[in-house]
């Protein structure tokens, strides 16, 4: 018996939610598990996309042409790259993220406003699980009798605390949505606010300055947009104050009372240092100067070995050095057009208390925070962050109303996109099947000869230079 479109959507939602929980909350999770999770979500998105067809276009003609240009430039750059297979893999990753965004956009447009509640429920559940894990680990640490407490060890399921911070940059803005909705009961708002305070406690403890910077810039922009943006800022500042109070009580008052020395304190991160980014930024700049038009090839920053990282921790430098300056400019123009269109809708609904308008506000804050953090961190590299970026973009696409009547979808263009998505996800699956059985051995060999340091890119050992 054939499944209905609604049933297919329910299966897509259930499987995607389970994969997100595994990738973010499982104790055994990390960069490689999250990459496999991302490929699996990409496969689910492609299968869902094959089973439905858009009634109207998801993007306008200019955006579609821009995306085509980016992909064509990426393919040409890959052909000329030192390691074409890895370059094509990066292009496939970009296309699969697009497929995930398209799937979420189609899913939300077909499911309607009820799915907005589902999204926030999933976000709240993930934050609740992670907060419980953190507080449990803190309780064990304080009761262990050890003379020192390393706050970094309280963070779980991520290979690096900055990757955890990237996840928080996406979820901190969304977690505030129930606090903005007038019809939500006060007791429930109290529970959500408590959770938001704990979530800020973890953000402070993790010490990811990119998260602090991203949330700060997002707050400034939302404060200018309208009264609901200022209310969002107010709730975030109140929760930040609560998080600071909890941090002081736990890691100053309680730690001093028990005679425990706190290691990796948040105050240690209050610096203006680049944390080693200077040399890799210069490496990316020299790559741009040497090959400005098509770059060295997607993923090929990782083909030039250095002792710091397999990506430059700066989205513009990374894209320009690998894909070329024209491609980077095209990406920047598309991001600006999409962001400005969203700002227009936010201004139109500046005084609206409708749930959909408030959700758009929170999604936009998450997007701004992530894009700002991408200027100093690997948001466009890490698998979990790529999935959440695709989710946020896809949901905003679904909520976009537009100032002109929507055009009918073009069957030929939709068919070409589906074919390209299938090929891209197929390549990612082939790479995963090839590498996953040997990942542990390959990583150990690399660690034995490279100062016990992994440099994540596609996999946790992301250096592709031979």
Kindly report, residue by residue over 406-428, the tens digit of the pLDDT: 566 678 888 999 999 999 999 99
- The pLDDT score that the predictor gives to residue 115 is 93
47 with 70, same domain: the answer is yes
297 with 262, same domain: the answer is no
Mean pLDDT of 422-436: 97
Give the count of alpha carbons within 13 A of 62, CB side only: 8
Burial 384-407 (b: 16+ CB within 10 A, else e): bbbbbbbbbbbbbbbbbeeeeeee
Taking 60 as the threshold, does the pLDDT of residue 435 lie above it? Answer: yes
Taking 80 as the threshold, does the pLDDT of residue 2 lie above it? Answer: no
Tell me the backbone φ, ψ of residue 150, rounded to 5 degrees. Answer: -95, 110
**Residues 6 or more apart whose Cβ sits within 8 Å of residue 239:** 176, 193, 196, 197, 199, 200
Cα–Cα dist 241/209, whole Å: 17
Cβ atoms within 10 A of the Cβ of 137, count? 15
Q: How confident is the model at residue 402 (pLDDT cuts 50, 70, 90)?
A: low
Nearest to 20 by CA among 137, 162, 176, 130: 130
Integer-rounded Cα Rg, in Å, for the chain is: 22
77 with 123, same domain: the answer is no
Tell me the C-alpha to C-alpha distance, in Å, between residue 334 and each of 104, 181, 313, 339: 19, 31, 21, 8
Range of the domain at 156: 113-272+357-366
Cα–Cα dist 342/206, whole Å: 31
The answer to whether position 342 is within a domain reads: no
Strand partners, 261: 148
The answer to whether the CB of 303 falls within 8 A of the CB of 465 is yes
Residue 450 DSSP label: T
- The pLDDT score that the predictor gives to residue 131 is 97
- The pLDDT score that the predictor gives to residue 191 is 97
Taking 80 as the threshold, does the pLDDT of residue 451 lie above it? Answer: no
Nearest to 333 by CA among 67, 60, 58: 67
The answer to whether position 235 is within a domain reads: yes
Taking 70 as the threshold, does the pLDDT of residue 322 lie above it? Answer: yes
Lowest mean pLDDT among 4-18, 124-138, 335-349, 415-429: 4-18
Lowest mean pLDDT among 116-130, 265-279, 380-394: 265-279
Taking 80 as the threshold, does the pLDDT of residue 299 lie above it? Answer: yes
26 with 139, same domain: the answer is no
pTM (predicted TM-score):
0.96
162 with 208, same domain: the answer is yes
140 with 20, same domain: the answer is no
Token readout for 453 is: 């340091």
The answer to whether position 1 is within a domain reads: yes
Average pLDDT, the chain: 93
- The pLDDT score that the predictor gives to residue 305 is 86
250 with 309, same domain: the answer is no
The answer to whether position 337 is within a domain reads: no
- The pLDDT score that the predictor gives to residue 25 is 94
Cα–Cα dist 266/362, whole Å: 26
391 with 452, same domain: the answer is yes
The answer to whether position 335 is within a domain reads: no
Mean pLDDT of 391-418: 82
Token readout for 57 is: 């276009």
Q: State which of 301, 331, 366 marks the end of a domain.
A: 366
Token readout for 129 is: 């699980």
Mean pLDDT of 439-454: 86
The answer to whether position 218 is within a domain reads: yes
177 with 257, same domain: the answer is yes
**Residue length of the chain:** 466
The answer to whether position 333 is within a domain reads: no
Taking 80 as the threshold, does the pLDDT of residue 56 lie above it? Answer: no
Q: State which of 301, 334, 366 marks the end of a domain.
A: 366
The answer to whether the CB of 362 falls within 8 A of the CB of 176 is yes
141 with 228, same domain: the answer is yes
- The pLDDT score that the predictor gives to residue 150 is 92
Lowest mean pLDDT among 162-171, 174-183, 302-311, 401-410: 401-410
Q: What would the pLDDT profile of 179-236 be if each residue is shown by its tens digit?
A: 999 999 999 999 999 999 999 999 999 989 999 999 999 999 999 999 999 999 999 9
The answer to whether position 239 is within a domain reads: yes
Residue 382 DSSP label: S
408 with 464, same domain: the answer is yes
Taking 80 as the threshold, does the pLDDT of residue 273 lie above it? Answer: no
**Residues 6 or more apart whose Cβ sits within 8 Å of residue 76:** 294
Number of domains in the chain: 2
Taking 70 as the threshold, does the pLDDT of residue 403 lie above it? Answer: no
Taking 60 as the threshold, does the pLDDT of residue 404 lie above it? Answer: no
Q: What would the pLDDT profile of 92-128 be if each residue is shown by its tens digit?
A: 999 999 999 999 999 999 988 999 999 999 999 999 9
Nearest to 81 by CA among 286, 244, 299, 347: 299
132 with 6, same domain: the answer is no
Q: State which of 342, 366, 390 marks the end of a domain.
A: 366
- The pLDDT score that the predictor gives to residue 1 is 53
**Residues 6 or more apart whose Cβ sits within 8 Å of residue 352:** 228, 358
């Amino acid at each position: 018996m054939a499944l209905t479109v609604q049933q297919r959507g329910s299966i897509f939602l259930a499987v995607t939610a389970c994969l997100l929980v595994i990738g973010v909350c499982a104790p055994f999770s990390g960069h490689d598990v999250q990459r496999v999770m991302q490929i699996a979500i990409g496969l689910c998105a492609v299968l869902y996309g094959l089973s439905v067809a858009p009634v109207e276009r998801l993007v306008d003609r200019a955006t579609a042409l821009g995306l085509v240009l980016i992909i064509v430039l990426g393919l040409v750059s890959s052909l000329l790259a030192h390691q074409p297979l890895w370059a094509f893999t990066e292009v496939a990753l970009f296309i699969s993220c697009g497929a995930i965004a398209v799937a979420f956009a189609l899913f939300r447009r077909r499911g309607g406003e009820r799915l907005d509640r589902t999204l926030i429920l999933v976000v709240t559940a993930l934050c609740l699980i992670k907060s419980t894990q953190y507080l449990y680990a803190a309780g064990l640490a304080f009761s262990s009798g050890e003379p020192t407490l390393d706050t970094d060890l309280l963070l779980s399921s991520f290979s690096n605390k900055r990757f955890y911070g990237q996840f928080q940059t996406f979820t901190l803005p969304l977690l505030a949505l129930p606090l903005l909705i007038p019809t939500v009961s006060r007791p429930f708002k109290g529970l959500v606010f408590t959770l938001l305070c704990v979530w800020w406690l973890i953000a402070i403890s993790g010490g990811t300055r990119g998260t602090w910077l991203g949330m700060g810039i997002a707050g400034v922009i939302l404060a200018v947009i309208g009264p609901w943006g200022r209310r969002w800022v107010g709730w975030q500042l109140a929760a930040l104050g609560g998080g600071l109070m909890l941090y002081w009580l736990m890691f100053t008052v309680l730690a001093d009372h028990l005679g425990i020395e706190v290691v990796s304190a948040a105050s240690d991160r209050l610096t203006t240092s680049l944390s080693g980014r200077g040399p890799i930024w210069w490496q990316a700049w020299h790559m741009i100067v040497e090959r400005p038009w098509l770059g060295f090839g997607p993923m090929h920053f990782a083909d030039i070995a250095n002792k710091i990282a397999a990506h430059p921790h700066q989205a513009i430098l990374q894209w320009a050095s690998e894909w070329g300056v024209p491609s980077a400019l095209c990406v920047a123009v598309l991001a600006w057009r999409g962001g400005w269109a969203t700002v227009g809708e936010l201004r139109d609904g500046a005084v609206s208390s409708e749930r959909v308008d408030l959700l758009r506000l929170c999604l936009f804050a998450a997007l701004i925070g992530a894009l700002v953090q991408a200027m100093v961190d690997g948001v466009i590299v890490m698998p979990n962050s790529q999935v959440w970026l695709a989710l946020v973009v896809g949901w905003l696409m679904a909520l976009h109303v537009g100032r002109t009547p929507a055009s009918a979808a073009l069957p030929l263009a939709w068919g070409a996109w589906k074919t390209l998505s299938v090929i891209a996800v197929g390549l990612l699956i082939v790479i995963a099947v090839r590498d996953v059985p040997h990942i542990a051995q390959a990583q150990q060999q690399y660690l034995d000869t490279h100062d016990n340091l992994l440099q994540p890119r596609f996999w946790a050992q992301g250096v592709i230079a031979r």
